[in-house]
Structures are given as structure tokens and as C-alpha cells.
Structure 1
Amino acid sequence: MTDIDPKTSFRGLPLTPEQDVEIRHYITVKKRHGEAWDTPELNAMLKDMLEPPGEDEEESGLDLDVAKSAAERAATFVDDAMEPIEASEEFNAAMEFEAMKAQGF
């Protein structure tokens, strides 16, 4: 894994050294051709580097809803009178049960 040093990267952004080199190369090429370098294209590149596209939002939202529901069901197995360690173990066991149930076991 490469180190990210915002102090030395473009505009102090948390870019990897490879991303910083790519941005600086883009600027150099634009300047060499006498073109403006601070463009919407540069901003889009930076946005992609800082917030890479993830999974489909609907799909990940569905997974989040399923996980929340499973956690809520698992929480019902935990009693307020339980010791913290016992409650944690009960919750973990219930979450494992919910995961197995979701996989069809």
C-alpha cells in the first residue's frame, strides 16, 4: 500500500503518489499545448480519485436494509440484564444464525 501525503499532493488533496503523478501529468500536457488546465475534466478526474464509483446504490442500499433487519432481529435475543460479554456473545450468535438463514442453511 502506498503512503498518502496530503502535504505534498496536488492542492493538498489525499491522493496516492500515482494519482498525484497522473494529475500533474495532465496539467503538464495541457500547459504544453497552451490549453487551460483547470477544467471540468480535471475536476471530474479528482472527484473519481477521491470518491471512486462503488457498487450500484440500489443494490448496496438493499444490503444495508437486510443487515439492519438482521441486527434488529438478533438484538431481540439480548437481555438487558445480561452481562456485557454474555450479551455480546448472544448477539454474535444470533447474527451468525441470521446469516446462515439468509444463505439457506
Structure 2
Amino acid sequence: MADATPESTFRGLPLTPDQDAEVRHYIKRKKQQGALWDTPELEAMLRDMLEPPGNDDGGLGTTVDETMAATERATASIDETMEPIEACEERNAAMETEGMRGPRR
């Protein structure tokens, strides 16, 4: 496959070779069906290709903080007089419960 450059890609957009091939395949398929190919669907596809994915997780620091807080809450449920294996099982069960509750807001 030839390298995709702005001079060779669809509308001169900075697409990867795979993205350019996907756009050209979409256009070819639409033409074969006798349908319009310059549609809002194509524009949405291009927008998705050109915009980097969003960062919905709130950052790595937030995830680490949430995990540490969940671990502390789970550890707090362990009694010091428990056997080590029982304490480990209790901690694991508490961590699963914290995980099911999801992140605190």
C-alpha cells in the first residue's frame, strides 16, 4: 500500500493509509448503490478520524486516588485479630464491593 500523504489522501486530509482506504471504500460502496456519498455520515466518519479520542477517565491521578481510597476503606473493614488468610479474603471481598460501587463523585 502506498504511503498516504496530504497530497494523496481524500480532500488532502491528514489521514492514515487505513483511514484513507476506509473513506475511499465508503465512497465506492455508495456509488455502486447509486446513492449520494457526500453525506453527513461521511462527515461524521472524517470527524471521528481526525479528532483524537477524548479523555473521559479524568486523568491517571484521579484513578490512582480512587483506588487508594477504595483500598483504605477495604482495609478498614479488617479486624486485627483475624487469621492472615481470613483477613486477606475479607480485604478481597471488600475491594470487590468497592469496585461494584464505582468511583465516588
TM-score (norm 1): 0.51
Distance in structure 1 (CA, Å) of the matches to 2:25 and 2:47 = 17
The residue aligned with 1:13 is 13
Contact map agreement 2:10 2:20 (CA 8 A) in 1? yes
Is 2:24 the partner of 1:24?
Answer: yes
CA distance in 2, matches of 1:9, 1:21: 9
Rounded to whole Å, the distance in 2 between the matches of 1:55 and 1:48 is 14
Partner of 2:80: none
Cα contact 2:4–2:20 (8 A) shared by 1: no
Question: Which protein is bigger by CA-based radius of gyration?
Answer: 2
Q: Distance in 2 between matches of 1:33 and 1:8?
A: 25
Task: Tell me the CA shift for residue 43 of structure 1.
Answer: 0.2
Q: Which runs of 5+ in 1 are unaligned?
A: 64-105
| Residue deviations 1:41-96 (CA, integer Å, cap 9, x gap) | 0000000000032211x825x97xxxxxxxxxxxxxxxxxxxxxxxxxxxxxxxxx
- In percent, how many aligned pairs have the same letter? 63
Which residue pairs with 1:46 in the alignment?
46
Check if 1:55 corresponds to 2:55: yes
Q: Is the 8 A contact 2:6 2:13 kept in 1?
A: yes
Distance 1:4 1:21 in 2: 9
Secondary structure at the counterpart of residue 44 of structure 2: helix
Match of 2:93 in 1: none
**Distance in 1 between the 2:4 and 2:58 partners?**
30
Runs ≥4 residues deviating over 6 A: none
Alpha-carbon distance in structure 1 between the residues aligned to 2:6 and 2:32: 26
